């Protein structure tokens, strides 16, 4: 047995502590699959019209927190915003993007899942103080050249 401070830890106890640390690291690594650059297209429900092109880039910090930026374009007009409320739970993810234009603001909220390297889900556009004005679906994949991390 090895004496650590005033506590004696046997080999089995030491192995259990190492196993817990490795498991925690695996969970951290698993949940960082969203890190990288993703490209997706979205269509608004019940609205004929153009497809929205989206690109988002997520960075994962060692503490498990995420930061990111999002860009969306429709008919040549582009909007960019910082991502907030970024969550990853297994294969599910979500985030919010704050958009301001001509004195009016709102949020774009995306929720989705990842399966076999592709992402898909739903989005809502929520003007400040109002319920969702536009809803729809999106699908996409990791941007070309951004190596798969999962």
Tens-digit pLDDT profile for residues 27-85:
344 458 999 999 999 999 988 777 899 999 999 988 889 999 999 998 788 999 999 99
**Same structural domain, 23 and 49:** no
Query: Residue 128 and residue 131: Cα distance in Å, rounded?
Result: 8
Residue 4 structural domain: 1-31
Query: What is the maximum alpha-carbon separation in the chain?
Result: 72
**Same structural domain, 113 and 79:** yes
**Into how many domains does the chain fold?**
2
* pLDDT recorded at residue 15: 36
Q: Is residue 105 domain-resident?
A: yes
Q: What is the pTM of this model?
A: 0.74
pLDDT by residue (tens digit) across 114-126?
A: 999 899 999 999 9
Q: Is residue 128 domain-resident?
A: yes
Q: Is residue 147 domain-resident?
A: no
Query: Among the ranges 1-10, 39-48, 71-80, 90-99, which has the highest mean pLDDT value?
Result: 90-99
Q: Is residue 134 domain-resident?
A: yes
Q: Is residue 117 domain-resident?
A: yes
Torsions phi, psi for 115 (to 5 deg): -145, 130
CA geometry: angle at 63 spanning 68 and 115, to 5°?
Answer: 55
């Amino acid at each position: 047995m090895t004496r650590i401070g005033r506590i004696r830890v046997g080999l089995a106890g030491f192995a259990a502590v190492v196993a817990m640390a490795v498991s925690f690291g695996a969970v951290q690594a698993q949940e960082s699959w969203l890190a990288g650059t993703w490209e997706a297209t979205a269509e608004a429900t019940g609205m004929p019209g153009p497809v929205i092109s989206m690109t988002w880039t997520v960075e994962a910090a060692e503490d498990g927190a995420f930061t990111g930026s999002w860009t969306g374009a429709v008919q040549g007009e582009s909007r960019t915003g910082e991502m907030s409320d970024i969550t990853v739970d297994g294969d599910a993810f979500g985030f919010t993007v704050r958009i301001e234009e001509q004195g009016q603001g709102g949020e774009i909220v995306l929720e989705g899942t990842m399966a076999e390297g592709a992402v898909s889900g739903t989005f809502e556009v929520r003007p400040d103080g109002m319920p969702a004005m536009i809803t729809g679906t999106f699908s996409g994949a990791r941007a070309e050249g951004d190596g798969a991390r999962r």
